[in-house]
C-alpha cells in the first residue's frame, strides 16, 4: 500500500462527516482513533458469516470462529514480535491489561515493605491500579518526576531502585506530553537491578514500531480502539515466566482446566487470563486493523506523524501566548497546549464550533496536572489520516479563540 493520504482518508468513512456544516477535523486520536472500512467490514463479515462462541464447540462455525480468533493472536504476536502466542492475552483494553498485572502481579510478588516505581506522567489507568494495590499490600508507590520539557530523569529513577523494588510501571508514550520515554534504557537499568518493567503502550503501539523482545520489557499493555480497531479490545503481552507464576485475574469459564467441588485447576497460557466469552467480533476487527497498519508500515506512520507534530508545533509557536506542555525532542503524535490564560475547556468549546475535535482537560492524568500546576490542557492528537491543511484550520481556530477573549 502506498502512503497516499487521499487514498487513506477514503478508507475512513467517518472522515467525510460534516460537523456544524463544516468538514470534520478529528484531532482526538489519543482518546480513540477512527476505523477504516476494512475494520468495519471485518466486523460485519464476522456477524454475517462466522458468529459463534469460541473454544467450546466441535461444530463447524465454532471451529471457524476459534481459528480466526487464534490467528489474530498470532498476528498480534508477530506485530509486537513476542516470542510466543501464549504471551498474548486478549483483554478489553489497556485499562484492563494494567489492572490485570497490578492485581495479579501484586498478589504474587508484592508484600509489606516492598516498593513499586511509576512516574508522575502516567494515565490514571497506569497509576491508580498500582496505588491501590500498594495500599492494600502495605507497599510504597514511588513516583518519578519530570523536567520542564516533560522528560523523565533516568538518574532519579535509578536512584529509586533497590532490593525492595518489585516492578517499574511507566508509559511508553505520554498521553499528555507526547514524550517518548527512553524505555529501553530504563528497562536495561531495571534489569541490572533484577526488576521487571511494565510499559503502558496505549499511546505507543499505534504510532511507533514496537518490538517487545528488542525492548526486553516484561509486560506491554495496549488498547485496540486507539489503533484503529474496535472498542472493547486490548492486549496484555507478558513474559511467560511471570504469567506462568501469576494467579488468574478473573475466574469462570475458559480459564479452568478442571473444576472439582473443593478446588479448581487452571488452564494453560494465555487462557488462564481469559475468563468468560471474549470480544470475538472485536478481535476480528483488530485483525483487520493490524493488517491495515502493517500495510502502511509502522515506520512510515511514525515518520509521517512526526511531520505533523513538527508542523503543528511550529505553527502554534507563531501564535502569541501559546504555551506547549511537552517539548522533548523525542515526541510522538500530539501537542498539548494552553492559549494565554484561557481555560482549556472554553478554548475547546470554541474550537469545536469550528468543526474541530480536540480534547481538553486533565486527560486522566490529574497528578501530572497538579505537578505542572495547571487545570488541564488543550490536546490535538494526530493520526496518519490527518493533514497539515487540517492543522492550518486548527491554527485559524486558535487565533479566533484569542480574538474572542482579547
Our CB check for ligand PLP shows the closer of 72 and 175 to be 175
224 close to 235: Cβ distance less than 8 angstroms: yes
Subset of residues 205 to 244 that bind ligand PLP, contact rule: CB under 6 A: 223, 225
If one asks whether residue 95 binds ligand PLP (CB under 6 A), the answer comes out as yes
Specify the DSSP class assigned to residue 173.
B
Interface positions, 104-123, toward ligand PLP (CB under 6 A)? 123
**Does the protein bind ligand PLP through residue 126 (CB under 6 A)?**
yes
Measured from the CB atom, the residue of 230 and 248 that comes closer to ligand PLP is 230
If one asks whether residue 94 binds ligand PLP (CB under 6 A), the answer comes out as: yes
* Annotation marks residue 52 as catalytic: no
C-beta closer to ligand PLP: residue 118 or 126: 126
**124, 141, 145, 383 from 243: Cα distances, Å:** 23, 22, 30, 33
> Binding of ligand PLP at residue 103 (CB under 6 A)?
no
Instruction: Report which of 235, 140, 176 is spatially closest to residue 372, judged by C-alpha positions.
Output: 176
For 299, other C-beta atoms within 10 Å of its C-beta total: 10
Lookup: cell for 338: 494552553
Asked if 119 and 179 count as a contact pair (C-beta separation under 8 A), the reply is: no
Rounded Cα gap, residues 6 and 11, in angstroms? 9
Nearest C-alpha neighbor of 66 from the set 76, 56, 80: 56
CB-based contact 75:62 (threshold 8 Å): no
Least distance to ligand PLP, CB of residue 212, Å: 17
Binding of residue 289 to ligand PLP (CB under 6 A): no
Should residue 267 be labelled a site residue for ligand PLP when binding is judged by CB under 6 A? no
Among 117, 171, 197, 286, binds ligand PLP (CB under 6 A): 171
Binding of ligand PLP by 377 (CB under 6 A): no
175 contacts ligand PLP (rule: CB under 6 A): yes
Does 179 engage in binding with ligand PLP (CB under 6 A)?
no
Beta bridge partners of 90: 235
Residues that bind ligand PLP (CB under 6 A): 93-95, 123, 125-126, 171, 175, 200, 202-203, 223, 225
Instruction: Provide the annotated active-site residues.
Output: 364
Amino acid at each position: 500500500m502506498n502512503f497516499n493520504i487521499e487514498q487513506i482518508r477514503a478508507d475512513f468513512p467517518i472522515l467525510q462527516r460534516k460537523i456544524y456544516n463544516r468538514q470534520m477535523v478529528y484531532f482526538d486520536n489519543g482518546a480513540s482513533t477512527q476505523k477504516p472500512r476494512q475494520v468495519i467490514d471485518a466486523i460485519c463479515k464476522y456477524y454475517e458469516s462466522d458468529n459463534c462462541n469460541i473454544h467450546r464447540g466441535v461444530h463447524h462455525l465454532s471451529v471457524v470462529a476459534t481459528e480466526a480468533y487464534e490467528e489474530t493472536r498470532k498476528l498480534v504476536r508477530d506485530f509486537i514480535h513476542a516470542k510466543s502466542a501464549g504471551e498474548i492475552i486478549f483483554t478489553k483494553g489497556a485499562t484492563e491489561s494494567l489492572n490485570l498485572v497490578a492485581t495479579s502481579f501484586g498478589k504474587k510478588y508484592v508484600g509489606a515493605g516492598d516498593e513499586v516505581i511509576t512516574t508522575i506522567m502516567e494515565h490514571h489507568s497506569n497509576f491508580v491500579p498500582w496505588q491501590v494495590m500498594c495500599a492494600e499490600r502495605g507497599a510504597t508507590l514511588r513516583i518519578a518526576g519530570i523536567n520542564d520539557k516533560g522528560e523523565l530523569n533516568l538518574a532519579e529513577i535509578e536512584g529509586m531502585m533497590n532490593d525492595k523494588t518489585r516492578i517499574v510501571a511507566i508509559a511508553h508514550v505520554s498521553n499528555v506530553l507526547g514524550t517518548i520515554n527512553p524505555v529501553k534504557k530504563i528497562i536495561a537499568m531495571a534489569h541490572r537491578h533484577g526488576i521487571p518493567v511494565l510499559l503502558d503502550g496505549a499511546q505507543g503501539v499505534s504510532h511507533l514500531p514496537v518490538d517487545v523482545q528488542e525492548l526486553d520489557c516484561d509486560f506491554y499493555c495496549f488498547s485496540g480502539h486507539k489503533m484503529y480497531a474496535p472498542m472493547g479490545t486490548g492486549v496484555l503481552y507478558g513474559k511467560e515466566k511471570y504469567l506462568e507464576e501469576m494467579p488468574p485475574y478473573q475466574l469462570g469459564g475458559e480459564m479452568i482446566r478442571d473444576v472439582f467441588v473443593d478446588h479448581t485447576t487452571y488452564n494453560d497460557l494465555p487462557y488462564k487470563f481469559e475468563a468468560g466469552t471474549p470480544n470475538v467480533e472485536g478481535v476480528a476487527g483488530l485483525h483487520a486493523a493490524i493488517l491495515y497498519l502493517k500495510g502502511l508500515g509502522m515506520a512510515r506512520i511514525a515518520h509521517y506523524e512526526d511531520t505533523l507534530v513538527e508542523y503543528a508545533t511550529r505553527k502554534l509557536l507563531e501564535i502569541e501566548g501559546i504555551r506547549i506542555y511537552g517539548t522533548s525532542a523525542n515526541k510522538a503524535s500530539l501537542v498539548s497546549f494552553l492559549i494565554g490564560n484561557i481555560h482549556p475547556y472554553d478554548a475547546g468549546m470554541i474550537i469545536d464550533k469550528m468543526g474541530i475535535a480536540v480534547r481538553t482537560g486533565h486527560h486522566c492524568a490529574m497528578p501530572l496536572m497538579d505537578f505542572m500546576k495547571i487545570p488541564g490542557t488543550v490536546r490535538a492528537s494526530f493520526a496518519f489520516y490527518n493533514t497539515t491543511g487540517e492543522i492550518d484550520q486548527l491554527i485559524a481556530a486558535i487565533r479566533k479563540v484569542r480574538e474572542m477573549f482579547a
